[in-house]
Amino acid sequence: MRRMSLPPGAPRRTEIEVAVEVRYAETDQMGVVHHANYLVWFELARTRLCRETGYPYADIEQLGYLLMVVGARLRYRGGAHYGDQVTISAQLAKLGSRGMTFAYRVRRGETLLAEGETDHLWVERQTRRPCSIPAPLKEPFARLAGSSG
Amino acid sequence: MRRMSLPPGAPRRTEIEVAVEVRYAETDQMGVVHHANYLVWFELARTRLCRETGYPYADIEQLGYLLMVVGARLRYRGGAHYGDQVTISAQLAKLGSRGMTFAYRVRRGETLLAEGETDHLWVERQTRRPCSIPAPLKEPFARLAGSSG
Amino acid sequence: MRRMSLPPGAPRRTEIEVAVEVRYAETDQMGVVHHANYLVWFELARTRLCRETGYPYADIEQLGYLLMVVGARLRYRGGAHYGDQVTISAQLAKLGSRGMTFAYRVRRGETLLAEGETDHLWVERQTRRPCSIPAPLKEPFARLAGSSG
Amino acid sequence: MRRMSLPPGAPRRTEIEVAVEVRYAETDQMGVVHHANYLVWFELARTRLCRETGYPYADIEQLGYLLMVVGARLRYRGGAHYGDQVTISAQLAKLGSRGMTFAYRVRRGETLLAEGETDHLWVERQTRRPCSIPAPLKEPFARLAGSSG
């Protein structure tokens, strides 16, 4: 996991990277990683990114909130193969009062394999009703988005 | 699987439906089906739809062609639960000379759970190079799209 | 789903069968269904078998109990391919006071593809502590096992 | 990944360890990792172990051979949770002329979560016929097993 360095003083959007080794089970008979697994990789990167707020996602769920996925868009550029080392980068692309959008890139070395976004809404865990971003998370997520310089 | 009935003579876009029972393994700790599984369901419906051409997708691969996924968009409207009976409908939304776009809806009874599209390009299996739609498949897929009424 | 017919009057062990169509995502680069998916199929068949008790597994969880998997054994005899229609049969092989063992077979037509067993213990959902079979389930599961003729 | 240290001179069975972070998609509605995923983790560890021979498994497949899974046994001791760091250790437990058995342990810190074995047979990739261990792999795998001190 590495953070991008940006000019000091500038509002910084945090970007993290996670590395995974492609698992045999992730391939399909086409010989490349099945396209559904990219959503699983995105989620792994999102998990790491959220951890940067100081509120790991597991803790957020225990606070009584869920960050429900309401949309996803993926663009596939190349295949990942069994045993490949790939890196998934994630950043908070858009922060709203009731949800947010994350953006991702999957690379093998310099080769872009896929990119995409996922849209999320805050919901109360018990009721599954949409809600505003929980107060204690407001500032940490704003920092992720680089919107509170 | 059922086909939509349309006025005779009109160009008909074929729509098929497949029913699945939600598997325990498809749920996640949120208690609903993990969002990546919808791509797997879309694919199952796409498989059935392609079968309507008379060329099951497995045969297409053996002919030496692959219908590579290059894009996917999903919009989630509600959660599917373990044991639910859901239906996935698929149709060929857009047919090009080198690829196509399928559209899907996932429903539990009358409730829409998710909808989305996937974009595909024809590639030669050996070279993985993009190619035009294989000649014998042209007319069958045009029929699916309802474009050769 | 079909039930095996046995001589009337004999203690009957219930056996059910479920049919699945092999999904593309279930294959791996070897061109056959990845071996982990058989556990998912076993579970699907177990779900159907439990439903025969009149207490679908989803209801059992809502009663406050879980049937935790504590062991699994699989023997693979042949590969399943994309698009194959396979059937998974399940029966309750061994019924104890605190758990049970289910047995499974996966077939394509007459060809046996895999067989196996899974071991389960009853646990209280809240505490995750092992417990005895919940009283209302005793008789229904005994009937499944054919042990209360 | 670490290798166990053993008295010098003794025949050494290689043991490797891989670390994984539990993915959200790996959990099920019970709130723990779905039991089928342990086979995926075993495979990941087996991949790393095979790499110790100097013949990564991807290369073995390209040589024209597959190490087909013919059996698996799992014993579950405890649940793994989303975000947990778990380690999977693998070793070659039994080496035969036509196949082998690997043994695995999954741990979170000192807590054993699961253990198991998988049985494999060598097959020719084209024909899918069982065969003897490919000549160039004999010695490297014997070294893994610690049988050629």
Reply yes or no on whether the pLDDT at D6 is more than 50.
no
Name chain A contacts of B72, Cβ cutoff 8 Å.
Answer: 35, 72-74, 76
| Residue pair C113/C74 in contact by the 8 Å Cβ criterion | no
Query: Rounded distance, CA A60 to CA A40, Å?
Result: 19
Please tell me if residue A58 touches chain B, with a CB cutoff of 8 Å.
no
Chain B residue nearest residue A120, CA to CA: B76
**Mean pLDDT score across all residues of chain B:** 92
b/e sequence B35-50, b meaning 16+ C-beta within 10 Å: bbbbbbbbbbbbbbbb
- Per cent of chain A over pLDDT 90 is 87
**For residue A12, what pLDDT is reported?**
82
**For residue A147, what pLDDT is reported?**
82
Q: How far is CA B24 from CA B21, C103, D56, in A?
A: 10, 18, 34
Name chain A contacts of B61, Cβ cutoff 8 Å.
Answer: 29
At residue A107 the predicted structure's pLDDT band, cuts being 50, 70 and 90, is very high
pLDDT (average), residues D71-85: 97
Reply yes or no on whether the pLDDT at D149 is more than 50.
no
Q: Give the chains touching D; criterion: ≥3 Cβ pairs < 8 Å.
A: A, B, C
pLDDT (average), residues A28-40: 97
Picking from B22, B23, B28, B82 by the largest number of D CB atoms within 10 A of its own CB, the best residue to mutate is B28
Name chain C contacts of D39, Cβ cutoff 8 Å.
Answer: 35-36, 39
Name chain C contacts of A22, Cβ cutoff 8 Å.
Answer: none
**For residue D147, what pLDDT is reported?**
82
Reply yes or no on whether the pLDDT at B10 is more than 60.
no
Could you please report the per-residue DSSP string of D75-140?
Answer: EE-S---TT-EEEEEEEEEEE-SSEEEEEEEEEETTEEEEEEEEEEEEEETTT--B-PPPHHHHHH
At residue A2 the predicted structure's pLDDT band, cuts being 50, 70 and 90, is very low
Contact D57 A23 (CB under 8 A): no
D28 part of the active site? yes
**For residue D10, what pLDDT is reported?**
57
Residues linked to residue C88 through DSSP beta bridges, in sequence order: C18, C106
**For residue D12, what pLDDT is reported?**
82
Q: How confident is the model over B54-110, as pLDDT tens digits?
A: 999 989 998 999 999 999 999 999 999 999 999 999 999 999 999 999 999 999 999
| Residue pair B86/B76 in contact by the 8 Å Cβ criterion | no
> Would you give per-residue pLDDT tens digits along chain C (149 residues)?
444 444 555 568 999 999 999 999 999 999 999 999 999 999 999 999 999 999 999 899 989 999 999 999 999 999 999 999 999 999 999 999 999 999 999 999 999 999 999 999 999 999 999 999 999 999 999 999 998 54
**For residue A10, what pLDDT is reported?**
57
Query: Rounded distance, CA C109 to CA C113, Å?
Result: 10
* Overall size of chain C counted in residues: 149
Contact B58 C81 (CB under 8 A): yes
Reply yes or no on whether the pLDDT at D33 is more than 60.
yes
Name chain A contacts of C24, Cβ cutoff 8 Å.
Answer: 28-29, 34
Q: How far is CA A13 from CA A3, A7, A140, B113, in A?
A: 10, 11, 12, 33
| Residues in CB range of C59: below 8 A, 6 or more apart | none
b/e sequence B126-148, b meaning 16+ C-beta within 10 Å: eeeeebebeeebeeebbbbbbee
Contact D31 B36 (CB under 8 A): no
Catalytic residues of A: 28
Could you please report the per-residue DSSP string of chain B?
Answer: --PPP--TTS----EEEEEEEPPGGGB-TTSSB-TTHHHHHHHHHHHHHHHTTT--HHHHHHHTEEEEEEEEEEEE-S---TT-EEEEEEEEEEE-SSEEEEEEEEEETTEEEEEEEEEEEEEETTT--B-PPPHHHHHHHHHHHT---
- List the strands of the sheet with B65-76, edge to edge: A15-21, A85-95, A99-108, A111-124, A65-76, B65-76, B111-124, B99-108, B85-95, B15-21
**For residue A51, what pLDDT is reported?**
95
Taking phi first (over 0 means left), then psi (-120 to 50 degrees means alpha), and beta for anything else, what does residue C20 get?
beta
The minimum CA-CA distance between D50 and chain B, rounded to whole Å, is 28
Nearest to A23 among D25, D43, D58 (CB): D43
* Overall size of chain A counted in residues: 149
**For residue A58, what pLDDT is reported?**
87
Please tell me if residue B128 touches chain A, with a CB cutoff of 8 Å.
yes
